[in-house]
Structure 1
Amino acid sequence: MAPAAVTPAAKSDDEDNYEEYIPVAKRRAMEADRLRNRRISKPAAASDGSPASLPPPPPPPPTNSPAPDAAAAKPSLLVTSTQLKRAAPEVTATEQVILQEKEMIENLSDRKTLMSVRELAKGITYTEPLLTGWKPPLRLRRMPRTKADELRRKWHILVEGDEVPPPARQFQDLRFPEPILRMLREKGIVQPTPIQVQGLPVVLSGRDMIGIAFTGSGKTLVFVLPLIMVALQEEMMMPIVAGEGPFGMIICPSRELAKQTYDVIEMFLAPLKQAGFPEIRPLLCIGGIDMRTQLDVVKRGVHIVVATPGRLKDLLAKKKMNLDNCRYLTLDEADRLVDLGFEDDIREVFDHFKAQRQTLLFSATMPKKIQNFAKSALVKPVIVNVGRAGAANLDVIQEVEYVKEDARIIYLLECLQKTPPPVLIFCENKADVDYIHEYLLLKGVEAVAIHGGKDQEERQNAIEFFKNGRKDVLVATDVASKGLDFPDIQHVINYDMPAEIENYVHRIGRTGRCGKTGIATTFINKNQTETTLLDLKHLLKEAKQRIPPVLAELIDPEDAETIAKESGVRGCANCGGLGHRLAECPKLEHEKSVAIAGSRRDYYGGGGYRGEI
């Protein structure tokens, strides 16, 4: 078939519609110019409301010079930064310190919350506290809020939280069994202490709690008696079988404190068993004791466990014990447990919980950092505070003496003459403990010593001899400063002033317990830092004690009071010291150095070794 012929008319139409080809680079340049001109020019609104036609675009500027209109329309980043700085309000030096401290606290608390890995992985959060079978009497439930607040003011009790249970002024109001009430009367405990007045109703109600009260105020009963009631209730509902348990657990930082708590539990369980109540089996789970005896109790079924973190973690890792039924957890001296020392061990223990639990934290020193961190693991917590966290016991007369390094051992004998025995002497390191112990024995003083380097039997015998009055003097490191109850101590001597003011508060709290008065003598010299001495000065000032001239001459940091008023935090939020702010905290520096070195001081009787407890 022949091709169609092209007519002249069709040929002319093709020539008229012909468009010259424009290279890609040129088309991009033209599009860029069009967009730039469109951005620079501003359409003017027509008088009749219709958009006016755009004026013809100006000729493009030379390639070597920038467009002046573009620079005027969009200032440089440097100009913008300068304008923002001029517009921003001026920040004073005090405000800068407050902002810096706030950022530091957030960084300190910016750690994984105190929850199990399963809960974190699955995003499990609990919004309501655990229900218990306990209810306060009707007259307490009907107590007006104004009367409850008046009672709290009378007892100097500060509470934070929602729906706080009313305080109970009598043990009978708490509905304890008669054998427990009888044992309290036999021990001379007739009226509850302030922390017990508010703390017991909170714990019995199933609420999570942070309890803060000075040493010797009866915090142990606040978490021991409700735990016994929980175990009784569970045993009555469904008796425990072999291999089950525990229902509740108490974790302590030292073996001595764990043994003391275990003895208190056994003291109340004995009359319950005699009265015909079901048998409740407790377990003391600490290092230094043959594990086979502990496993025998576990195999029979255990209701209550009192443990130190090391041995507890070992039993759980070997699957000799499980926490499937555990619904009650107490961290005694919680600031020392949650802090740098045992935080990782506590996290491993939390991984073994299978369901929600009631969590309680107790201590005499609970810095704001620890409170904020602990709240992440608690459900609608109630904070019960009797006095300032970290304040010294007002029943202790604090005496501070400037004694040269070489003269301390001689002056120590003079201080022992101040009061009759028993006397407790604290040192910072184990070498000084052994040296003073040997020196006192050579001088004819009946003395015993404990520190983390001694075996468990020797430590336990020393504590028993001292408590029974067979020995007059106990020389110890800080292993004996946390929570141990020596009811008749009249004098505490600090051979070394501790670097952290928290340890000082715990040490002097071994005397002046249960309403009795005591004396605490502290040796200071040039070895102590000015920050530590300022903390001590402010603690003496707060307790209305005599301030020696060597401390009175120390100059307080400028604007410290102003910063405290504006920030709402007195002193250091990390250690509770009143003589410095967070940026100069010696404890924070020590924690950093310990983290780098991977070592541990003799805080908990560990002797400096990780697995010794």
Structure 2
Amino acid sequence: MNAILETAWQQAGFETPTEIQSKTFDLLADGQSVLGLAPTGTGKTLAFSLPILQNMQANAGLQLIILVSSQELAHQMQAALQPFVKALGMSQVVVTGNTNVKRQMERLKAKPDLVIATVGRLMELLNKGKIKIKPLKAVILDEADALLFENGADKLQMVFDHLPKPLQVGFFGATTSRAVTDFATANHIDFTTVDTRQKLVKTQKTEHLFLRANNNAKNVILKELSRQKSFYGMVFFRQKNQLIKVAHIMADWHVPVAILDGRKDSIQRQHALQSFRQHKINLLLATDVAARGLDIDNLTTVVNYDIPETETAYIHRSGRTGRMYKQGQVLTLGNDHDQRDLQKLLGTEVALKLVYLVDGQLTQERPSHREFKTTTGQSSRQAPGSGHSSRRTSEALKQSKKKQASRVKNRKNKGKPKRG
């Protein structure tokens, strides 16, 4: 690392490089293509960017393109790289969908050294001839397997067909797939593989917890957790419809939440993320799209509202906490069958700990004393002050359902003339 980058590195508060950073630096600095695989939260962004930035010349035109899977990830990456880009006297521009394309075209006229882009918007700008790519030296595919899965190899191939050759290419992520190697082969990209991944249980200081809960009680659990000052959590859903339903229930219960899903425009999503990052809200509801690469400082808990479909999805969800080897916990909600299915999905390397919710706190100690229905909807024994009774839970859910029914009725009657 040259003196300028080393100074910026120290000023940013970094000390020792992570394994993926140290093992890929010389390879990328030498101009080689690399497949870099590392656990989530281990500094892959700086691993693939700093050695290439070091070889670039300021104000020499576009030399590096970084492709990402979402607008949120693009802006997050821009913020992470800005101290280093600025120190080198360079400039960067973000180009993503669902934002003003004319404004992005104006920014591109300044001939930035680095562009961070989503595939669709980059393709649009390339087709319009709005990006000068002649000096381009390198392209990075961040979360390469997700980019190929979400966009398809054909769409990504159309982007590559516009780019000059030869080209240094970096494929980075916490997981990979056959599609990545097939794409590299089709484009005659010879790469060196650097794999610093270990088994999930060994990669992070993260606890993997399971709380037995029926569907209705899951919402009560979220409400109880959000009331704890120490809780700062991200809740993942398989389906957008379920997320929207839970968001309405939380609103009925006056529980503030931030929402990250495709229905919101870019400004709304950025505002939601900002409110969450600033701890104005301690509960963020998101679909799996947000699991890829999103970096939230000091996130205490990831909650799986439902079981992810694959081990890969679980890895990317859980990777939002315990980043850079900090403490974290992943809490999955479900019934006995869900617990067995999840354990089977994760294998023997990850031991799920069964926990209970007592006074809003997660504990492995089973509540004792008289029988009652806890907020989980499971039969247990109540310790003093161990939570809501089933009657209170039932009443809260009934009130929420009434409000939802009222909203539906109002939407149906909207615009109809009043009788009488």
Return the TM-score normalized by structure 1.
0.54
Letter aligned with residue 256 of structure 1? E
Letter aligned with residue 362 of structure 1? F
Q: In structure 2, do the counterparts of structure 1 residues 529 and 306 end up closer, same or farther at CA, with 3 Å as the change threshold?
A: same
Out of 10, 23, 28, the residue aligned to residue 203 of structure 1 is 28
Out of 60, 68, 76, the residue aligned to residue 252 of structure 1 is 68
In structure 1, the residue matched to 2:43 is: 218
User: What percentage of residue pairs aligned between the two structures are identical?
Assistant: 27
Is 1:265 matched up with 2:76? Answer: no
Distance 1:545 1:533 in 2: 7
Letter aligned with residue 307 of structure 2? M
In structure 1, the residue matched to 2:3 is: 177
Distance 1:443 1:381 in 2: 53
In structure 1, the residue matched to 2:182 is: 373
Out of 280, 304, 313, the residue aligned to residue 114 of structure 2 is 304
In structure 2, the residue matched to 1:498 is: 308
Distance 1:396 1:464 in 2: 25
Displacement, 1:416? 4.1
Q: 1:43-58 to 2 correspondence within 5 Å?
A: none
CA offsets 1:430-480 (integer angstroms, 9 cap, x no match) = 222223233334434332111011111000111111112222111111122
CA offsets 1:495-530 (integer angstroms, 9 cap, x no match) = 111112211110111000112110110113488698
In structure 2, the residue matched to 1:314 is: 124
Distance 2:336 2:51 in 1: 48
Displacement, 1:378? 5.5
Distance 2:25 2:181 in 1: 23
Displacement, 1:531? 6.4
Any runs of at least 4 consecutive aligned residues in structure 1 with deviations exceeding 6 A, and if so which?
389-392
In structure 2, the residue matched to 1:347 is: 157
CA offsets 1:93-144 (integer angstroms, 9 cap, x no match) = xxxxxxxxxxxxxxxxxxxxxxxxxxxxxxxxxxxxxxxxxxxxxxxxxxxx
**Structure 2 unaligned regions, length at least 5:** 356-420
Determine helix, strand or coil for the equivalent of 1:300: coil
Q: 1:478-493 to 2 correspondence within 5 Å?
A: 478-493=288-303
Displacement, 1:372? 3.4
Cα contact 2:257–2:283 (8 A) shared by 1: yes
User: Which protein has the bigger strand share?
Assistant: 2
Cα contact 1:403–1:525 (8 A) shared by 2: yes
In structure 2, the residue matched to 1:74 is: none
Letter aligned with residue 19 of structure 2? P
Distance 1:419 1:521 in 2: 17
Displacement, 1:289? 1.7
Structure 1 stretch displaced more, 524-533 or 331-340: 524-533
Distance 1:392 1:256 in 2: 28
CA offsets 1:553-592 (integer angstroms, 9 cap, x no match) = xxxxxxxxxxxxxxxxxxxxxxxxxxxxxxxxxxxxxxxx
Q: Which structure would you say has the larger Rg?
A: 1
Q: In structure 2, do the counterparts of structure 1 residues 300 and 353 end up closer, same or farther at CA, with 3 Å as the change threshold?
A: same
In structure 2, the residue matched to 1:451 is: 261
In structure 2, the residue matched to 1:228 is: 53
Cα contact 1:231–1:304 (8 A) shared by 2: no
Cα contact 1:487–1:514 (8 A) shared by 2: no
Letter aligned with residue 334 of structure 1? A
Q: In structure 2, do the counterparts of structure 1 residues 378 and 189 end up closer, same or farther at CA, with 3 Å as the change threshold?
A: farther
Distance 1:325 1:256 in 2: 27
Distance 1:298 1:385 in 2: 35
Q: In structure 2, do the counterparts of structure 1 residues 289 and 371 end up closer, same or farther at CA, with 3 Å as the change threshold?
A: closer
Determine helix, strand or coil for the equivalent of 2:324: coil
Cα contact 1:323–1:354 (8 A) shared by 2: yes
Displacement, 1:258? 1.0
Q: In structure 2, do the counterparts of structure 1 residues 525 and 373 end up closer, same or farther at CA, with 3 Å as the change threshold?
A: farther
Distance 2:80 2:332 in 1: 31
Displacement, 1:371? 5.0
In structure 1, the residue matched to 2:205 is: 395
Cα contact 1:499–1:532 (8 A) shared by 2: no
Cα contact 1:481–1:510 (8 A) shared by 2: yes
Determine helix, strand or coil for the equivalent of 1:355: coil
Determine helix, strand or coil for the equivalent of 1:293: helix
Return the TM-score normalized by structure 2.
0.78
Distance 1:306 1:220 in 2: 12
Q: 1:526-545 to 2 correspondence within 5 Å?
A: 534-536=344-346, 538=347, 541-545=348-352
Determine helix, strand or coil for the equivalent of 1:339: helix
Size of the aligned set, in residue pairs, is 354
Q: In structure 2, do the counterparts of structure 1 residues 390 and 358 end up closer, same or farther at CA, with 3 Å as the change threshold?
A: farther
